[in-house]
């Protein structure tokens, strides 16, 4: 069946039916001959007309939009049914360089996966280099009613192209690039609940095109999207345009995950809800140099640990709701980012870090040690104005030095209520010195006892935190 599909001839829409724009009107096609309704025909909408209407389900291998004017694929009850492909060279939807304005698909798209092909692909290609000439897919995309297997959306674009997925998406296992170039911009707008859909960009190598484009997820802070795993092994820039959650991360590309300019002072939000140990490598930057790209906050949720080895230039908050956010090197986060502990652990991991203010939305845990019990250091901005409520801050440190933890630059950078709720290795009784460093305030005769107890407590607490 794959060979039959690839070898099929292309039929052109010529709008000969005039006011009758129905897809099954023979006069609308060249030679007044309907394309085969068998999933084997490649058809082109480009020579005439402005609308083609799917009044019935029509089963095609692929469609090409190349009209030198406004063109829409609409529906009056029918679906555009596309046969899933086995390779990237068989395109389901193409916008060519001949299109001079935006081309729009409003008709529902149904992908038929009832074939023997190993891969089940809907390949989307945009070959138009002018950003004002978008390929806008408004129709919802899912598998056909007679199909049981899910499918993958494989995207290809040239530099300058803009493609929008505005309709609902379901039954999709991957949104990916493999073998072809991803350039230009792909925008996935709106609210999305796609926790079973992964996003992946393949490793550069033989037969794999370079990625120099952007994937935009959401276009407003109010747009909430959840995805499966994000894998970046190529130079795809991911733009968090809304409130976006990933279940995991992998990849070693030199690229970035960035925020976007929002209205009303809102901040884009990136959440990693990880349930297995995950690392954001040293080649990945969170934030960027472009306009609005640092307008991003980072949230760690999920019971497992996330290690941040890449550089974070984002200026929004860093929030730990569950599990552990661990540093993979020194100074990974922008100095102005507020750290919010909301039930999870921030693990300095033996390194040094400077942050904005510290806030607590639940009991917070701060671990300064690495696996070899080397104690790191952390400096916060003045946090006396942060509302910790009645929540406590539990600190683990094997050997807390005189300059291990600092708040602001003076003795007033925490208030009395905050100081009363701080424990180090289970021991209370702490204050700030005149330079803002956290220091114990025991009676002179009991200092040695406190120090010994603290060291013993550190071992037990650290084991629990790293479990």
pLDDT of residue 89: 87
Work out how many domains the chain is built from and give that number.
1
Contact 116, 144 (CB under 8 A): no
Render pLDDT for 192-225 as a digit per residue (tens, 0 to 9).
Answer: 999 999 999 875 544 445 567 899 999 999 999 9
Look at residue 169 and tell me if it is in a domain.
no
Render pLDDT for 247-299 as a digit per residue (tens, 0 to 9).
Answer: 999 988 889 999 999 999 999 999 999 999 999 999 999 999 999 999 999 99
Determine the Cα–Cα distance for residues 393 and 406; give it in Å rounded to an integer.
14
Determine the Cα–Cα distance for residues 170 and 370; give it in Å rounded to an integer.
43
Look at residue 444 and tell me if it is in a domain.
yes
pLDDT of residue 330: 98
Render pLDDT for 86-128 as a digit per residue (tens, 0 to 9).
Answer: 988 899 999 998 888 999 999 999 999 999 888 999 999 999 9
pLDDT of residue 456: 52
| Numbers of helices and strands, H then E, in the chain | 3, 43
Please return the burial class of 328, using the count of CB atoms within 10 Å of its CB with bins 0-12, 13-18 and 19+. Answer: middle
Which domain does 457 fall in, by range? 317-467
Look at residue 346 and tell me if it is in a domain.
yes
What are 218's two structure tokens? 């959401």
pLDDT of residue 46: 87
The string of DSSP codes covering 60-116 is ESEEEE--SS-EEEEESS--EEEEPBSSTTS-SEEE-TT--S-EEE-S-EEEE--SS
Look at residue 161 and tell me if it is in a domain.
no
pLDDT of residue 446: 47
Render pLDDT for 392-426 as a digit per residue (tens, 0 to 9).
Answer: 999 999 999 889 999 999 999 999 999 999 999 99
Q: Which helix (H) or strand (E) holds 411?
A: none
What are 439's two structure tokens? 């220091």
Read off the pLDDT band of 30 (50, 70, 90).
very high
Contact 182, 156 (CB under 8 A): yes
Render pLDDT for 130-156 as a digit per residue (tens, 0 to 9).
Answer: 888 999 999 999 999 999 999 999 999
SS3 280: strand
pLDDT of residue 88: 84
Look at residue 263 and tell me if it is in a domain.
no
Look at residue 343 and tell me if it is in a domain.
yes
Look at residue 87 and tell me if it is in a domain.
no
pTM value is: 0.91
pLDDT of residue 457: 52
* pLDDT over 60 at 447, yes or no: no
Average pLDDT, the chain: 91
Look at residue 368 and tell me if it is in a domain.
yes
């Amino acid at each position: 069946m794959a060979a039959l599909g690839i070898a099929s001839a292309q039929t052109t829409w010529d709008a000969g039916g005039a006011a009758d724009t129905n897809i099954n009107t023979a006069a609308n096609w060249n030679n007044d001959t309907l394309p085969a309704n068998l999933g084997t025909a490649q058809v082109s909408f480009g020579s005439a007309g402005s609308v083609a209407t799917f009044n019935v389900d029509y089963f095609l291998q692929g469609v090409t939009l190349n009209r030198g004017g406004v063109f829409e694929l609409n529906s009056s009850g029918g679906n555009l049914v596309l046969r899933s492909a086995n390779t990237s060279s068989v395109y389901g939807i193409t916008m060519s360089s001949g299109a001079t304005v935006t081309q729009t698909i409003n008709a529902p798209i149904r992908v038929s996966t009832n074939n023997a092909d190993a891969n089940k692909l809907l390949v989307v290609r945009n070959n138009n280099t002018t950003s004002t000439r978008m390929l806008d897919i408004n129709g919802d995309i899912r598998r056909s009613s007679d199909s049981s297997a899910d499918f993958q959306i494989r995207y290809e674009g040239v530099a300058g192209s803009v493609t929008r997925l505005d309709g609902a998406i379901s039954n999709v296992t991957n949104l990916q690039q493999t073998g072809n170039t991803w350039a230009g911009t792909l925008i996935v707008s709106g609210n999305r609940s796609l926790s079973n859909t992964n996003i992946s960009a393949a490793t550069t190598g033989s037969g794999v095109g370079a990625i120099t484009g952007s994937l935009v997820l959401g276009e407003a802070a109010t747009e909430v999207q959840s995805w499966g795993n994000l894998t970046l092994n190529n130079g795809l820039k991911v733009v968090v345009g809304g409130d976006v959650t990933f279940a995991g991360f992998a990849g070693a590309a030199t690229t970035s995950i960035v925020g976007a300019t929002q209205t009303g002072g809102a901040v884009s939000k990136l959440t990693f809800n990880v349930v297995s140990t995950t690392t954001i490598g040293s080649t990945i930057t969170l934030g960027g140099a472009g306009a609005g790209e640092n307008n991003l906050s980072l949230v760690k949720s999920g019971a497992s640990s996330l290690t941040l080895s890449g550089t974070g230039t984002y200026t929004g908050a860093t929030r730990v709701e569950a599990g552990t956010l661990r540093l993979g090197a020194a100074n990974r986060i922008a100095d102005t980012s507020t750290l919010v502990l909301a039930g999870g652990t921030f693990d300095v991991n033996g390194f040094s870090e400077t942050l904005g203010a510290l806030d607590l939305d639940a009991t917070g845990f701060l671990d300064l040690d690495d696996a070899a019990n080397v104690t790191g250091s952390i400096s916060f901005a003045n946090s006396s104005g942060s509302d910790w409520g009645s929540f406590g801050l539990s600190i683990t440190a094997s050997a807390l030095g005189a300059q291990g933890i600092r708040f602001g630059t003076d003795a007033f950078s925490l208030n009395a209520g905050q100081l009363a709720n701080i424990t180090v290795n289970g021991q209370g009784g702490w204050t700030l010195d005149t330079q803002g460093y956290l220091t114990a305030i025991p009676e002179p005769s009991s200092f040695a006892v406190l120090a010994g107890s603290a060291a013993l407590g550190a071992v037990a607490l650290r084991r629990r935190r790293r479990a």
